[in-house]
């Protein structure tokens, strides 16, 4: 009997997206076969996941934790590897159909590139991959005839709105933003906000890095650049609108003036599942949206003066070259420092801007240029933070 299940690798299985992807897999054992799970550092949760799901391969990026993971799984039919190179190579396994890239940050780039080269469809949750090297990824996707299926709720919304609209021209897309925990604070008040305050997102439960990015609006900036590459748009075709209720996940406006919106309660399992089952929709028991519980849906202009990261991202997209790669690297550094209480909230934008100005500009980067730019930007950011 032919195997009709989709064989899946989850890179970053212990993070917020990874754990929710496993929930989707668990709820649909007739549809999915789990081949690979990987984690950066969280060996304890990775071991638990491996025992429960028993994939064929388990990888821990932190090589110092290899023995711990290997010993814990020695009595199970699971092959254990360690190191970033192993994560990059594991996507070559021929049984894998779809790679869920749920790793955080720049680390997701090389495994995604290798997966595309090996003709795997990508369920993309690692927005930094397209932010850093969207031009290269776009070419590889066409050359290898694979699909990138967006997992971010906003990009999934745009993707869903475009179903059946292949030959109809997009006039504009609107990515919605909740505004995060600091939407109503003044610029003066933002000077003294704390890590604890920044980690309290009003609508979504996410990992620490993405929650801070959401609070600073860098997350929306990354999504703007990602949207450009995902949907082959010009910068002027992309806008951001603040929608505090997070019910409308994004909108598409067509050249006749008509608009489509994708709506629903904020639950990441829905876009994850859609990416894994596309083009089909499958029945779920997710909570349903009720209009009567939301008599008002409100919208505001994004304040680019208060949330400077969003302006920086638009500028980086317009400048092109390696600028977005540099911005991303600097952002990863400042978020790490902010989470360690070594930098204030508003200083993050200042360091990112200074890093962009000090890092070598490369107008037409190769993949090696991107790797070098990432390292250079991280070094400069850390020097500026001393």
For residues 11 and 111, the answer to whether their CB atoms sit within 8 Å is yes
- % the chain with pLDDT above 70: 98
Q: Are 126 and 149 in contact (CB under 8 A)?
A: no
| 80 touches 72 (CB < 8 A) | no
CA-closest candidate to residue 377, choices 386, 360, 308: 360
Rg of the chain's alpha carbons, rounded to an integer? 20
Contacts of 357 (CB under 8 A, 6+ apart): none
Burial status of residue 258 (CB atoms within 10 A of its CB: 0-12, 13-18, 19 or more): exposed
Does the pLDDT of residue 287 top 90, yes or no? Answer: yes
Q: Quick check: 156 and 124 in contact, CB under 8 A?
A: no
Q: Report pLDDT for 261.
A: 98
Q: Cα dihedral angle (238, 241, 244, 246), rounded to 10 degrees?
A: -30
The token pair at 19 is 């754990």
Task: Please give the pLDDT value at position 264.
Answer: 95
Give residue 323's region: left, alpha or beta (phi > 0; psi -120 to 50): alpha
**CA dist 323 → 133, 154, 155, 216, 385 (Å):** 10, 23, 22, 19, 20
Confidence of residue 159 (pLDDT cuts 50, 70, 90): very high
Mean pLDDT over each residue of the chain, to the nearest integer: 95
- Between strands 248-254 and 170-177, the pairing is antiparallel
What sections of the chain are H helices per DSSP? Answer: 16-27, 43-53, 66-72, 84-90, 109-117, 128-144, 153-161, 187-190, 195-198, 208-216, 218-230, 269-277, 308-319, 323-339, 347-358, 367-384
Residues 6+ apart with CB under 8 A from 143: none
Assigned superfamily of 6-146: NAD(P)-binding Rossmann-like Domain (3.40.50.720)
Contact 55, 79 (CB under 8 A): no
What pLDDT digit, counting tens, does each position of 35-74 carry?
999 999 999 999 999 999 999 999 999 999 999 999 999 9
Q: CB of 24 within 8 A of CB of 105?
A: no
From residue 354, give the alpha-carbon distance in Å to each of 117, 133, 222, 336.
Answer: 35, 21, 18, 17
For range 327-349, the mean pLDDT: 96
Rounded distance between C-alpha atoms, residue 166 and residue 378, angstroms: 40
**Predicted local confidence at residue 180, as pLDDT:** 86
How confident is residue 1, by pLDDT bands cut at 50, 70 and 90? Answer: low
The domain segmentation of the chain, as residue ranges, is: 6-146, 156-267+298-384
pLDDT at 323: 98
Q: Can you give the pTM of this predicted structure?
A: 0.93
What is the DSSP annotation of 172-230? EEEEEE---TTTT--HHHHTT--HHHHT--SS----HHHHHHHHHTHHHHHHHHHHHHH
Q: Please write the tens of the pLDDT for every residue from 182-216.
A: 999 999 999 999 998 998 866 666 678 888 999 99
Residues 298-318, mean pLDDT to the nearest whole number: 96
Q: Tell me yes or no: is domain 156-267+298-384 CATH 1.10.1740.10.
A: yes
Average pLDDT for 224-232 = 97
Q: State residue 202's pLDDT score.
A: 65
């Amino acid at each position: 009997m032919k195997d009709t299940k989709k064989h899946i690798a989850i890179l970053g299985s212990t993070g917020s997206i990874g754990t929710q992807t496993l929930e989707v897999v668990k709820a649909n054992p007739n549809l999915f076969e789990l081949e690979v799970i990987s984690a950066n550092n969280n060996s304890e949760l990775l071991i638990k996941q491996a025992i429960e799901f028993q994939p064929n391969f388990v990888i821990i990026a932190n090589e110092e934790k290899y023995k711990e993971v290997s010993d814990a799984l020695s009595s199970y039919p699971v092959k254990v590897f360690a190191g970033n190179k192993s994560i990059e190579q594991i996507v070559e396994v021929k049984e894998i159909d779809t790679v869920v890239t749920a790793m955080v940050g720049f680390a997701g780039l090389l495994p995604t590139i290798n997966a595309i080269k090996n003709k795997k469809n990508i369920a993309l949750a690692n927005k930094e991959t397209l932010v850093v090297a969207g031009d290269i990824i776009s070419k590889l996707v066409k050359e290898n005839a694979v699909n990138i299926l967006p997992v971010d709720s906003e990009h999934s919304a745009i993707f869903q709105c475009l179903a059946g609209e292949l030959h109809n021209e997009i006039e504009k897309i609107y990515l919605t933003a909740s505004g995060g925990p600091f939407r109503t604070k003044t610029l003066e008040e933002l000077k003294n906000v704390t890590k604890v305050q920044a980690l309290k997102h009003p609508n979504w439960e996410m990992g620490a890095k993405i929650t801070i990015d959401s609070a600073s609006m860098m997350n929306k900036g990354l999504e703007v650049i990602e949207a450009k590459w995902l949907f082959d748009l010009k910068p002027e075709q992309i806008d951001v609108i603040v929608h505090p209720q997070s019910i409308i996940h994004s909108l598409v406006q067509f050249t006749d003036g008509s608009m489509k919106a994708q709506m629903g309660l904020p639950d990441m399992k829905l876009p994850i599942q859609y990416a894994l089952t596309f083009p089909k929709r499958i029945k779920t028991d997710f909570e349903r949206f009720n209009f009567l519980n939301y008599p008002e849906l409100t919208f505001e202009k994004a304040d680019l003066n208060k949330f400077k990261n969003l302006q920086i991202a638009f500028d980086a997209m317009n400048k092109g070259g390696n600028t977005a790669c540099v911005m991303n690297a600097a952002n990863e550094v400042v978020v790490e420092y902010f989470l360690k209480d070594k930098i204030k909230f508003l200083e993050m934008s200042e360091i990112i801007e200074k890093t962009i100005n000090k890092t070598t500009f490369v107008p037409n980067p190769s993949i090696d240029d991107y790797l070098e730019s990432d390292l250079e930007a991280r070094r400069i950011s850390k020097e500026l933070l001393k």
